Structure 1
Amino acid sequence: MPAPSIALIGLGAMGSGMARALLAGGFAVTVHNRTAAKADPVRDAGGTVASSAAEAARAATTVVLSLADEAAVEQIVFGELAGKWRPGTVVVDTSTVSPAFSRETTRRLAEQGVRRVEACVMGNPEMAAAGRLRVLTAGEESDVDAVRDVLAALGQDVRHLGPTGNASVLKLAFNLLLGVQTAGLAEAIAFVEAMGMERDLLLDAFDSSGWRSPVLAFRADFMRRREYRPAAFRTTLMHKDLRFAAREAGERGVELPLVDCASDRFAAGIDAGRGDDDAASVVELSQRSRTGVP
C-alpha cells in the first residue's frame, strides 16, 4: 500500500523539522520553499522537492503550511495556489497569524471547496524534527479527524480548542509569555553585567532555580553562548506575534503594557540588524547601549 502523500510548503526552522517528522512517520512528503536550497536536507532525508507551491499541492490532498506571516499565507494560499487545489484538500495551517486573519482565511478557502484546520504548534526545531511538538487545533472537528494521523506524526500532544481562531489566541498568549520573559531575563543579565559580574554566574544559578522553565532555559542557552544563529525563533517573528496580541487586545479595550514594552525591545533588535537572529539576542541590546558599540 503506498504511503499517504503530504505536501508541506515553507521550510523555515520549524517547517524543515516537521517535514522530517512526517517522513519518519511513513508519509510520502513533497515540499516547496521559496529559497530552494533549504529543501536540500529534506530531499536528502527522502522527501521530494517541488519547483512551485502548486506542484507540491498537486501531489497531495493534505497540505501543511508553515509560513512566516500573513503576507506569506496570502501570497501562497490565495496567489500561487488559487484555483489549483485538488478536490477534497485539507489544509493544515501551522502558520502563526492573528485570530481574525485565521477565521477569514478559513472562510475564503471554504469558498474554494478547501477545508482548513488551524494547527498552531509549540516547541522548537529539534522537537519538530522528533515529532514532539504540542499542537493546538481549531476548526471543524470532522476536519481535524480527517488529518489526525498527520497531527499525530507532528505532535506528542494534540489539543482541540473549538472554533477557528481559538488556537491562534492561545498560541499568541503563549508567545506573549515567552516574549515578556525573554526580555525580562535579558534585563536581569544586563543588571548583573552592569554590576561587574559575568552572565554565566546568573545563568548557572538560574539553571538550578525555581525560575527555570524548559522554554526559558532554551533561550538562556543562546544567551550563554552568545550565538543567535541559526535562530529557533527569529526576532522578527517574536515582534510580529507580540504586535498581534497587543492589537487584538486593544481592539477589545484591553491594554497589555508589558507586551508593549517587550515589543519595543524586539523592535530595537530588528533596528540593530538582529531581525534574523534568535529572539534571545535581545540580551545584547543592553550591552550595545552600555558600550556604545554600533
Structure 2
Amino acid sequence: MLRTVCLFMKNRSGETTRFRETMLSSARAEKEIRKIGFIGLGNMGSRMSANLIKKGYQVKVNDLDTSSCAMLEKKGAEVVTDSKKLAGEVDCLITMLPASNHVLSLYNLDNGVIHNIRPGTLIIDCSTIDPSVAIQLAPVFKEVGTDFVDAPVSGGIIGAENGTLTFMVGGEDQGAKKAEPVLLSMGKNVIHCGPAGSGQIAKNCNNLLLAISMIGVAEAMNIGIKMGLDPSILAKVINISTGRCWSSDTYNPVPGVISGVPSSNGYKPGFTVNMITKDLNIAKRVTDKLGTPFEMGEKTLAIYDQLSKSEHGEKDFSVVYKYFKDKSLL
C-alpha cells in the first residue's frame, strides 16, 4: 500500500520547501540492482565505473568532462547529460565528486537531483568530504524512502584500475548491506564503520596518515640520495625494514624507483596536491572542533598548502619529494 509523505525543510535561502515523495507504507521495496548511475568521472570515477560495466551492470554516466563520458561510452556506458534525468532512471546512484560543496550542490533541496530520485534507490557517495555533510544528508534521504551510505575509498588510481579498492562505509545496516555487492564490483574490501559520516571519518584519518607518511618517505629518500645512496637500493632497504609503508613500496615519490606510478611519469596525477590539501583542511576543521592535537597534521598541511599555491597544485601529491630535493623549485 502506498502513502504520500510531505517533508518541510529549510533550503539554503532559509525558505521552507515542501518536499513530496511517494513511499511504501511498511518497508522500502527491495529490488535487484541492475541499473547504476555514476556522476563524477575523474581519475577515480572513470575507472570505478568501467569496472561496473565489466561486471555486467547497465551503467549511465554523467560528467562535465565530455571526453571522460565519451571514453566510458566506448566501453558500454550510456551517457546522460542531464544529472536529474539520470538520477530518476537508476536503481543505484553513485557520486564521486571533488569536494563537499559539489555534493551539497548536487543533492540540494532547491533544485538538486534529490527531487528526481525514486523511492528505493540506493545512494552511494564515494566522495571524500566533511563528515558533517554525510550526517546532514542521511536523514533527508531516509525521509524520501532511499538508502544512503557514504563510502569513500582508499587505493588510489591503481586500486581503481585493478578493482582492488577499499571502501569505508557509513550508514544504516540496511543501506550498507545493499551497497556491499556493488562496492565489491569495484574493490576487494568493504568495511562498515558505523552510522552516516563514519566512512568519512575513517577516510579522513587514513588520508592524514597518508600525507604524513608520504612526506616522511620523501624526506628520508632525499637525505639518503644526497648522501650518495642509489635511490632504488635505499627503497629496497626501507621496503624490507621497519620503515616500509604504502608510500615507499607502492607509490614511491622518487622518479625511477617504481615504474607506472606518478613520480615516474612527471608526477601526472593520480591524487593531486590540491586534493590532499583539501583533505588535510577537513582534518584541521574537525580537530579544531574537537580540541584535539593536530601537531604533525599542522606541519604536513603547511607543506602541502605551500605546494598547492605553487605550480604543482594539480600534480600528484607525491611531488612533495621536490619540496625536499630543491625548495627553490617551488
Superposed CA RMSD in Å reads 2.2
Q: 1:245 aligns with which of 259, 264, 283?
A: 283
Q: What are the equivalent positions in structure 2 for 1:48-197 lying under 5 Å apart?
A: 48-78=78-108, 79-195=111-227, 197=229
Cα gap change, 1:293 to 1:241, in 2 (>3 Å):
closer
Deviation at 1:256, TM superposition (A): 1.1
Q: 2:241 aligns with which of 209, 217, 227?
A: 209
* Letter of the 1:238 counterpart: I
Higher relative contact order (CA 8 A, sep 6+): 1
1:30 aligns with 2:60: yes
1:85 aligns to what SS in structure 2? Answer: coil
1:31 aligns to what SS in structure 2? Answer: strand
Structure 2 unaligned regions, length at least 5: 1-31, 257-262
* Letter of the 2:72 counterpart: V
2-11 or 27-36, which deviates more: 2-11
- Deviation string 1:126-165 (CA, Å, 9 cap, x unpaired) is 3223322111211111122233321221221211122112
Deviation at 1:254, TM superposition (A): 0.4
Q: What are the equivalent positions in structure 2 for 1:235-274 lying under 5 Å apart?
A: 235-274=273-312
1:7 alignment counterpart? 37
Residues of 1 paired with 2:249 and 2:220: CA distance?
14
Q: What is the TM-score with the length of structure 2 in the denominator?
A: 0.81
Deviation at 1:178, TM superposition (A): 0.5
- Deviation string 1:75-106 (CA, Å, 9 cap, x unpaired) is 22225414222232221011111211210122
35-44 or 172-181, which deviates more: 35-44
234-243 or 107-116, which deviates more: 107-116
The answer to whether the 8 Å contact 2:183/2:190 transfers is: yes
* Letter of the 2:278 counterpart: K
2:8 alignment counterpart? none
2:20 alignment counterpart? none
Deviation at 1:189, TM superposition (A): 2.7
Percent same amino acid among aligned pairs? 24
Residues of 2 paired with 1:167 and 1:82: CA distance?
21
Structure ranking higher in helix proportion: 1
1:218 alignment counterpart? 250
Residues of 2 paired with 1:85 and 1:151: CA distance?
20
Residues of 1 paired with 2:254 and 2:143: CA distance?
44
70-79 or 203-212, which deviates more: 203-212
Q: What is the TM-score with the length of structure 1 in the denominator?
A: 0.90
- Deviation string 1:20-46 (CA, Å, 9 cap, x unpaired) is 111111100011111111122211211
Residues of 2 paired with 1:17 and 1:25: CA distance?
13
The answer to whether the 8 Å contact 2:253/2:320 transfers is: no
Residues of 2 paired with 1:3 and 1:115: CA distance?
13
